[in-house]
Structure 1
Amino acid sequence: MLNHTDFTRELHGNRLVAIVRGSDPAAALRSVLALAQEGVRLIEISLTTPGAETVIAQAGKEAGPDAVIGAGTVVTRQDALRARDAGARWMVTPALDEGFEHAVTLGVPVLAGALTPTEAVAAMRSGAGAVKLFPASLGGPGYLRALRDPLPDIPFVPVGGVDAEAARAYFAAGAVAVGVGSPLLGDAPHGGDLTRLRARAREFLAVCATGDAA
């Protein structure tokens, strides 16, 4: 596991969270390894992926020391325990739910799902390392900018419908990082094209390297 300081540093330094959610565990693992080979460090493997614990464990062994493997869609206490036991170094929750509470109890850095100002403040007060603004597509970059006016110290990571163009806009609005699923992964976690995945990974990494600083 990471400590909270290291997790925050990873978000600020890398600015991209790749979200792997697939229907085929072998394809999901291949996608993780391809992302890692392209230089994507923060890789979230959703627990909705069949065999997710095995994918997390294998990714931790095979992706190399530069990949920081986390578990996503942590909803329940059992999810948090499954992710911890599989070797997830950080966790992502869709809401301030039982999974969030137990991940914090386990001492695992958490990217906690929230949408409103009240939820975002509650997440940070309860031990989140950063706030997953979800679903970010509801309000877009303008909503993030409005949130940051009264809450400038909360590290927001927009997730949901973030393509490369939207990522640029979110960085300009003050995001510390973006979380990207299908606009990055495409069909790769379902057995699809890894070559295109690699190309999209390079595109997103370039955006994260050149986007406006949060």
Structure 2
Amino acid sequence: MSQNQKTVRPAAGKLLRGNPVVAVLRAGHASEYAPVIAALAAGGVTTIELTLSTAGVVAQLPLLLEEFGTAVDIGVGTITSLAEAVEVMDAGVKFLVTPITDLAVVEAAAQRNIPVFPGGLTPTELFAGWNSGATAVKIFPASTMGPGYVGHLRGPFPSIEVIPSGGVSIDNAPEWIAAGALAVSLGGPLLGDAFRGGDLAALTQRARRVTKLVAAAVAARNAASGAKK
């Protein structure tokens, strides 16, 4: 992208801004998704990433989008090519997530005003995704860096928005929010055994817990920011 060309950057969805938690779902088949999504939504987690590595995702997308409507933002992750991105955008997904920094995917989503969260780890990868129009960049795998990495990135890139993914737990999610993350992305620590016959009521309780913890962290961060002004 030319330095003289203005970056097109889609805004984060309203639901994610209201509760900055992304649930990452991996199952044996996408037909298993609906009851788990409903249980998460009951606990306040309404931004749902369906992984493209799960069988049947593209076929199930229209059904899931119709079933949950505007109550849940359904996006697709594990996108590794422009063709995959275009296919799911055409199906109506609300956001895209990639495990890699593919600038063609970022720019295609930005041009269609679809929030996109490209994955990366190094400053070079993360800034490249951000500079190409990412809504936020996904620090992946986040467990290798820790929440302090957000502050280090903000030194050279003060406006960059980040979402940690990979190794984020319910208990340490507030630390990432306190460090300045736009949101947190959780898979196994939140989903637990939900796709192995686990108690969906327990999943709803975990969703409520992370929602409460993250909301408190956002409030504390906002209060601290206001006190500095």
For normalisation by structure 1, the TM-score amounts to 0.89
What is residue 91 of structure 1 aligned with on the other side?
96
What is residue 131 of structure 2 aligned with on the other side?
125
3-state SS of the aligned residue for 1:210? helix
**Residue 49 (structure 2) pairs with residue 48 (structure 1):** no
1:143-182 aligned within 5 A: 143-182=149-188
Q: Considering only aligned residues, what root-mean-square deviation do their CA atoms show, in Å?
A: 2.1
User: 1:38, 1:8 → 2: CA distance?
Assistant: 18
Gaps of 5+ in 2: 1-8, 223-229
**Residue 115 (structure 2) pairs with residue 109 (structure 1):** yes
CA contact under 8 A between 2:16 and 2:46: conserved in structure 1? Answer: no
1:1-214 aligned within 5 A: 4-5=10-11, 7=12, 10-97=15-102, 98-211=104-217, 212-213=220-221
User: 2:193, 2:62 → 1: CA distance?
Assistant: 22
| CA deviation after TM superposition for structure 1 residue 134, in Å | 0.8
3-state SS of the aligned residue for 1:95? coil
AA of the residue aligned to 1:156? V
| CA deviation after TM superposition for structure 1 residue 193, in Å | 2.9
User: 1:122, 1:210 → 2: CA distance?
Assistant: 32
Gaps of 5+ in 1: none
CA contact under 8 A between 2:177 and 2:183: conserved in structure 1? Answer: yes
Q: Per the alignment, do residues 190 and 48 of structure 1 end up closer, same or farther by CA in structure 2, a change over 3 Å counting?
A: farther
Residues 145-180 of structure 1, C-alpha deviations (whole Å, 9 max, x = no match): 222233231111111111122111111211111011
AA of the residue aligned to 1:126? S
3-state SS of the aligned residue for 1:213? helix
CA contact under 8 A between 2:96 and 2:115: conserved in structure 1? Answer: yes
User: 1:60, 1:8 → 2: CA distance?
Assistant: 15
User: 1:12, 1:150 → 2: CA distance?
Assistant: 25
CA contact under 8 A between 1:11 and 1:176: conserved in structure 2? Answer: no
Residues 37-92 of structure 1, C-alpha deviations (whole Å, 9 max, x = no match): 32222111111111112333222111242211111111112211221132211101
Count of matched residue pairs? 211
AA of the residue aligned to 2:35? R
User: 1:44, 1:60 → 2: CA distance?
Assistant: 12
| CA deviation after TM superposition for structure 1 residue 183, in Å | 0.7
3-state SS of the aligned residue for 1:140? coil
| CA deviation after TM superposition for structure 1 residue 117, in Å | 1.5
What is the percentage of aligned positions where both structures have the same residue? 41
